[in-house]
């Protein structure tokens, strides 16, 4: 029986158990659910959980453990000369055996009889059935594949039987425990609590896993390139060494990328912060509720536009516009109509990214400004302060820590942004301070190092992980600092 089918049966058992358990509980209470410790549904849920949960655990354990056992048995059955070969070759042989086993499932019995003794023929036949083999199978492989199939079949049957028996035993035992005073609710809720804990740990465990894998790969990189050359190097030139030449390892200097990232981020924040803050102040303090209810969602639509679309906008509209504008200005001032702003430049990328960030700044700040208690505004107005004095001197200072937190979170978004930069600022890693020239960022280089035909163990590829972990640490610090500030601000009012 296939695993999905078993799961389906378990689901049906759960539903049946729930219904039967609920009915039984009600019957014990003589139809009056107030005589039971818990509401009848809890008894049903208790029976269902007792039936399905242990069975599911057994199923999972079996699915994980049985391949290990079967595989090692099959490998143990290889001829002695095969066992003497290297681990990699044994792995290859086993891979062949398992493809063969899959293939033989597809063949009819008489086909197996016909081609079983002729490896080349077998390969062809399987090829026509859609199972490709890497080479001609050796005779012992055919035998091993047969063993493998047989063992898998037995394992599957036993597993189905065990799982279903466990489910039925669980259902039976729990059904018998139903009584007036049985505390079904407490038990069911403990299981639900467990499920909630598992759900919340998944995100945390994933994060830890990602960080660990990045750390491992970055560790490999630092094994090839010294850390100080990476962190303090001022040249980014990861030359792809030609085959056989070991001299040109390339230079992996982080500084130009980091500088580009911070520079473009800075320009973006210079655009986003004033515009976003002013719009937040207008929305929260001056706009009428009707206008606010229309304008705020519209502003937030900006946040829903994919960043690649902003990239197009930068590439086809903003970049050429700035370039032509600079040429015109230059023409008027010096008579030489040479553009001094490149089509791809820090300015273009920063400007467009700033527009992308406006809704983050304004929406977050708007919430924070609105959260400043009305009593504070009244207090200030009651002293004869004007509305703008109240905003400047009372509301904004009170909201400031929260707003700063919001800005830091926005900044970490700016640092992580990739697509706009690729299209608007180019991919040239240069170290310079002219905002009219192209530069590039850490994220762009991560993409370009990981795309293309490169072996995964070269420093040219591994550097991506070092860049990634650096970026991760920077944004993590920003976010933690932002959270810290926001939390401090919360304490003031609650």
In the bound state with other proteins, the residue whose beta carbon lies nearer, of 35 and 393, is 393
Please spell the DSSP secondary structure of 477-491, one letter per residue.
Answer: HHHHHHHHHHHHHHH
Nearest approach in angstroms of CB 398 to other proteins is 5
Q: Of all helices (H) and strands (E), which one includes residue 252?
A: strand 251-252
Which of 270, 383 has the CB closer to other proteins?
383
Please identify, using beta-carbon distances, which residue of 331 and 379 lies nearer to other proteins: 379
By beta-carbon proximity to other proteins, the closer residue of 1 and 396 is 396
C-alpha distances out from residue 381 to 377, 396, 397, Å: 6, 14, 16
Q: Which of residues 172-191 bind other proteins (CB under 8 A)?
A: none
In the complex with other proteins, the residue whose CB is nearer, 112 or 396, is 396
- Neighbour count for residue 139 (Cβ, 10 Å): 12
- DSSP per position, 190-211: HHHHHHHHHHHHHHHHHHHHHH
- Of the candidate spans 71-79, 190-198, 370-378, 402-410, the one that interacts with other proteins by CB under 8 A turns out to be 370-378
Q: Which is nearer to other proteins, 300 or 389 (CB)?
A: 389
Residue 492 CB, shortest distance to other proteins, in Å, is 6
Residues 454-493 that bind other proteins (CB under 8 A): 492
CA atoms within 13 Å, Cβ hemisphere of 431: 13
Q: Which of residues 397-436 bind other proteins (CB under 8 A)?
A: 397-398
Q: Which is nearer to other proteins, 332 or 375 (CB)?
A: 375
447 class by beta-carbon count within 10 Å (0-12 exposed, 13-18 middle, 19+ buried): middle
Report in angstroms how near the CB of residue 375 gets to other proteins at its nearest.
4
Query: Which residue from 30, 31, 130, 289 is in contact with other proteins, where contact means CB under 8 A?
Result: 289
Half-sphere exposure of 74 (CA within 13 A, CB side): 28
Smallest gap from residue 374 Cβ to other proteins (A): 9
Under DSSP, is residue 182 helix (H, G, I), strand (E, B) or coil? coil
Residue 342 CB, nearest distance to other proteins (Å)? 47
Q: To which residue do tokens 């200005």 refer?
A: 329
Query: Rounded to whole angstroms, how far apart are CA atoms 444 and 263?
Result: 14
Closest contact distance (angstroms) between CB of 290 and other proteins is 10
The nearest distance, CB 279 to other proteins, in angstroms, is 21
Tell the smallest beta-carbon distance from residue 371 to other proteins (Å): 13
**162 versus 376: smaller Cβ distance to other proteins:** 376
Q: Per CB under 8 A, which of residues 374..393 are in contact with other proteins?
A: 375-386, 389, 393
294 touches other proteins (CB under 8 A): no
**Could you give the C-alpha distances from 433 to 88, 272, 323, 439, 486, in angstroms and in order?**
52, 21, 18, 9, 33
d(CA 15, CA 436) in angstroms, rounded, equals 67
Least distance CB 202 / other proteins (angstroms): 39
Nearest CB to other proteins, comparing residues 217 and 285:
285
- Cα 368 off chain centre by: 28
Q: Find the shortest distance in angstroms from Cβ 387 to other proteins.
A: 9
The binder of other proteins chosen from 35, 212, 373, 476 (CB under 8 A): 373
CB of 380 to other proteins, least distance (A): 7
Considering beta carbons, is residue 239 or 393 the nearer one to other proteins?
A: 393
b/e map 186-225, b = 16+ CB within 10 Å: ebbeeeeeeeeeeeeeeeeeeeeeeeeebeebbeebbeeb
- Backbone conformation region of residue 287, classed left if phi is above 0, alpha if psi is from -120 to 50, else beta: beta
d(CA 420, CA 392): 35
Q: Quick one: 400 or 454, whose CB is closer to other proteins? A: 400
Spatial separation of the C-alpha atoms in residues 149 and 70, rounded to whole Å: 10
- The site string for other proteins over 203-242 (x = CB under 8 A, - otherwise) reads ----------------------------------------
Show the CA angle centred on residue 390, arms to residues 384 and 393, nearest 5°. 120
How far is Cα 481 from Cα 475, in angstroms, rounded to an integer? 10
Question: How many residues sit in the footprint of other proteins (CB under 8 A)?
Answer: 21
- Footprint of other proteins on this chain (CB under 8 A)? 288-289, 373, 375-386, 389, 393-394, 397-398, 492
């Amino acid at each position: 029986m296939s695993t999905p089918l078993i799961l389906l049966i378990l689901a049906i058992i759960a539903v049946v158990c729930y219904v039967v358990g609920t009915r039984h509980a009600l019957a014990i209470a003589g139809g009056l659910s107030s005589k039971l410790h818990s509401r009848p549904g809890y008894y049903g849920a208790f029976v269902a959980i007792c039936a399905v949960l242990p069975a599911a655990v057994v199923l999972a354990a079996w699915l994980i453990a049985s391949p290990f056992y079967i595989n090692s048995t099959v490998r143990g059955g290889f001829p002695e000369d095969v066992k003497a070969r290297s681990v990699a070759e044994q792995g290859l042989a086993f891979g062949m055996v398992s493809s063969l086993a899959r293939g033989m499932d597809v063949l009819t019995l008489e086909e197996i009889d016909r081609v079983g003794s002729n490896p080349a023929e077998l390969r062809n036949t399987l090829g026509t059935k859609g199972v490709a083999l890497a080479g001609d199978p050796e005779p012992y492989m055919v035998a091993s594949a047969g063993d493998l199939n047989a063992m898998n079949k037995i394992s599957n049957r036993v597993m189905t039987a065990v799982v279903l028996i466990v489910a039925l035993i669980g259902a039976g035992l729990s059904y018998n425990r139903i009584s007036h005073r049985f505390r079904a609710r407490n038990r069911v809720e403990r299981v639900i609590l467990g499920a909630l804990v598992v759900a919340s740990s998944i995100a945390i465990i994933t994060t830890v896993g990602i960080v660990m894998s990045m750390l491992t790969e970055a560790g490999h990189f630092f094994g090839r390139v010294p850390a100080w050359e990476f962190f303090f190097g001022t040249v980014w030139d990861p030359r792809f060494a030609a085959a056989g030449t070991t001299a040109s390892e390339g230079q992996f200097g982080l500084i130009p990328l980091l500088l580009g990232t911070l520079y473009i981020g800075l320009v973006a924040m210079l655009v986003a912060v004033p515009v976003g803050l002013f719009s937040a102040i207008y929305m929260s303090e001056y706009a009428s509720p009707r206008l606010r209810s229309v304008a705020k969602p519209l502003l937030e639509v900006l946040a829903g536009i994919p960043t690649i679309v902003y990239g197009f906008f930068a590439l086809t509209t903003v970049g050429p516009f700035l370039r032509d504008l600079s040429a015109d200005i230059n023409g008027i001032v010096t008579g030489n109509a040479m553009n001094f702003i490149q089509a791809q430049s820090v300015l273009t990328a920063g400007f467009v990214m700033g527009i992308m960030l406006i809704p983050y700044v304004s929406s977050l700040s708007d919430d924070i400004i609105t959260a400043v208690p009305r009593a504070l505004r009244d207090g200030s107005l009651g002293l004869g302060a004007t509305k703008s004095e109240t905003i400047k001197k009372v509301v904004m200072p009170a909201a400031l820590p929260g707003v700063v937190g919001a800005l830091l979170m926005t900044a970490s978004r700016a640092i992580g942004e990739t697509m706009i930069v690729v299209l608007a600022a180019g991919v040239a890693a240069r170290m310079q301070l002219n905002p009219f020239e192209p530069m590039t960022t850490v994220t762009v280089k991560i993409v370009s190092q990981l795309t293309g035909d490169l072996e995964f163990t070269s420093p040219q590829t591994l550097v991506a992980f070092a860049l990634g972990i650096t970026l991760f640490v920077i944004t993590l610090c920003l976010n933690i600092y932002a959270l810290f500030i926001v939390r401090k601000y919360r304490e003031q009012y609650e």
